[in-house]
Amino acid sequence: EVQLLESGGGFVQPGGSLRLSCAASGFTFSSFAMTWVRQAPGKGLEWVSSISGNGGYKYYADSVKGRSAISRDNSMNTLSLQINSLRTEDTAVYYCAKEKSTWGDNWFEAWGQGTLVTVSS
């Protein structure tokens, strides 16, 4: 059974940094692209960043480009998202999601339960 468990969320002041992690199990992690999607309170879904199975391809939403970094450790089955210079508009539940293949099938067939990031002074 595919399991995705996010961690690292919490309360942070504007301008601060956070590193989110997603522990994956139940599948061959290195064979699948992974993605972060976020959802602000009471709002819809927003794609944040994706990374290919071998880590060679990375894409970012404009809203986080230049102040975030997606990475993966295929030996530890872990996906990460570092976000710097946090803004109040980054407040959201952050989900990690598994894609269908190593790259190119950019829909999300499994999701974690999410980790809440609150940016406030």
Partner 1 sequence: EIVMTQSPATLSVSPGERATLSCRASQSVSSTLAWYQQKPGQAPRLLIYGASTRATGIPARFSGSGSGTEFTLTISSLQSEDFAVYYCQQYTDWPLTFGGGTKVEIK
Looking at 91, 114, 116, 118, which residue binds partner 1 (CB under 8 A)? 114
Looking at 44, 56, 66, 75, which residue binds partner 1 (CB under 8 A)? 44
Secondary structure of 12-81 in HEC code, one letter for each residue: ECCCCCEEEEEEEECCCHHHCCEEEEEECCCCCEEEEEEECCCCCCEEECCCCCCCEEEEEECCCCEEEE
Tokens 């699948």 correspond to what residue? 32
Residue 45 makes contact with partner 1 by CB under 8 A: yes
Region from 11-19, 21-29, 41-49, 73-81 binding partner 1, contact rule CB under 8 A: 41-49
Query: Segment 49-108, which members bind partner 1 (CB under 8 A)?
Result: 50, 59, 61-62, 95, 100, 105-108
Residue 47 makes contact with partner 1 by CB under 8 A: yes
Residue 41 makes contact with partner 1 by CB under 8 A: no
What is the C-alpha R_g of the chain?
Answer: 13
Are the beta carbons of 78 and 87 closer than 8 angstroms?
Answer: no
CA separation for the pair 13, 94 (Å, rounded)? 17
Looking at 22, 112, 117, 119, which residue binds partner 1 (CB under 8 A)? 112
Of 5 and 12, the one with the shorter C-beta distance to partner 1 is 5
State the residues that interact with partner 1 by CB under 8 A.
35, 37, 44-47, 50, 59, 61-62, 95, 100, 105-114
